[in-house]
Amino acid sequence: MKAIQINEYSKQINTVLRDIPLPKISDSEVLIRVKAAAVNPLEMLILTGSVKLIQDYPMPLTLGNECSGIVEEVGSKVTDFQKGDRVYTRLPLNKIGAFAECVAVDQNAIAKMPEGYDFNTAAAIPLTGLTAYQAIVEELEAKPGETLLIPGGSGSFGQMAVPIAKTLGLRVIVTGNARAKEQFLSMGVDRYMDYKQENYWEQLSDIDHVIDTLGASEFEHELAVLKQGGRLVSLRTGPNKAFAMKHHVSGLKKLLFTLAGSKYDKAAGKQGKEYRFLFVRSNGAQLQKITEIVEQQQIRPAIDSRIFSLSEANQALQLVSKGPINGKVIIQL
């Protein structure tokens, strides 16, 4: 089968299209014939080696973290899926490889696609959907009626996070660009702030929860608007001691993560607040809950109009790296 691989970590986007053997499935895996794979900023972090501390890969590595497709074969212990099922997945972090004609995935990482959705749209849901769900439910432990702020939330993450947060009963404030304002108001955000017109840290206070999509440069502003006892979960700033403990990392990694996150932990602790870091993981049961929300709310993430083939993976990655994009970038097979 054909697959997009890298031979080494590199600052340059330099993938290779090659023929590799069809993956063999274990008893608990299914073989998915990939119909569409989404291209994410995470791909850039992986191919440059930026997440090597969290997950280091043997080379050559087949890229790709999320996809949709059709079940071709099931392992002997697989109970909930059968040949012909239309499924989608955020692949387990230690076994990615969605940029390929077929991929072997553990049954616990898969869910059936939302009813009536095409493969391209479905492929754009798992990564951002699970990120939003895990941030809100696990890291923030947000309760109905509480307020969530998402600075820089007008992109593909916000398109999933807002309806999930609203379904879970939260009040949601988003900052972002002017052109996305009407779309997000129609999705039910309680307040939308154009970042070029308003500084949220000058207008907001006593916020229960913040999901950071922008990184370390925004940390002080995000912390400032949180109430005492509030939590800030970052998708960008970096891991800390709590992350190391939760993921049971080795002694050296635990030390490195603790050191790396200590200034954020200290700054938050001084104000009686808490810093968390999230690196999204696969979870089929959660993806099934997200599927129900997607169907109920008819959430359709924006897809960029430029659709790529497997042989055009370099161009797709360049587009994600440099932009501008108008939704998820998709490789269609």
pLDDT in tens, 161-207: 999 999 999 999 999 999 999 999 999 999 999 999 999 999 999 99
Distance CA 109, CA 28 (A): 11
Residue 251: predicted pLDDT: 84
128: which residues sit within 8 A by CB, 6+ positions away?
A: 156, 157, 159, 160, 161, 301
Residue 326: predicted pLDDT: 85
**CB-CB neighbours of 8 under 10 Å:** 10
Q: Does residue 57 surpass a pLDDT of 90?
A: yes
Q: Are 109 and 80 in contact (CB under 8 A)?
A: no
pLDDT, tens only, 69-113: 999 999 999 999 999 999 999 999 999 999 999 999 999 999 999
Average pLDDT over residues 223-250: 93
Concatenating the DSSP letter of every residue in 254-317 gives HHHHHHHHHHHHHHHHHTT-EEEE------HHHHHHHHHHHHHHT----B-S--B-GGGHHHHH
Residue 268: predicted pLDDT: 97
Q: Does residue 248 surpass a pLDDT of 90?
A: no
Residue 249: predicted pLDDT: 86
Structure tokens at 246: 């939760």
Distance CA 147, CA 190 (A): 9
Distance CA 307, CA 329 (A): 7
Residues in the chain: 333
Structure tokens at 71: 């079940």
Residue 216: predicted pLDDT: 95
* H or E element at residue 229: strand 226-234
117: which residues sit within 8 A by CB, 6+ positions away?
A: 294, 300
Q: Does residue 323 surpass a pLDDT of 90?
A: no
β-strand 86-90 against 110-112: which pairing, if any?
A: antiparallel
What is the three-class DSSP state of 234? Answer: strand
Q: Does residue 288 surpass a pLDDT of 90?
A: yes
Q: Are 173 and 189 in contact (CB under 8 A)?
A: yes
Average pLDDT over residues 110-119: 98
Q: Could you identify the residue written with the tokens 């050296």?
A: 252
Concatenating the DSSP letter of every residue in 15-74 gives -EEEE-PPPPP-TTEEEEEEEEEEE-HHHHHHHTTTTTTT----SSEE--SEEEEEEEEE
Confidence grade of residue 314 (pLDDT, cut at 50, 70, 90): very high
Share of the chain above pLDDT 70, in %: 100
Average pLDDT, the chain: 96
Average pLDDT over residues 43-68: 95
Share of the chain above pLDDT 90, in %: 91
Average pLDDT over residues 235-260: 90
pLDDT, tens only, 124-150: 999 999 999 999 999 999 999 999 999
* H or E element at residue 97: none
Average pLDDT over residues 306-330: 94
What is the three-class DSSP state of 150? Answer: strand
Q: Are 105 and 29 in contact (CB under 8 A)?
A: yes
Nearest to 312 by CA among 320, 301, 303, 323: 320
Residue 307: predicted pLDDT: 97
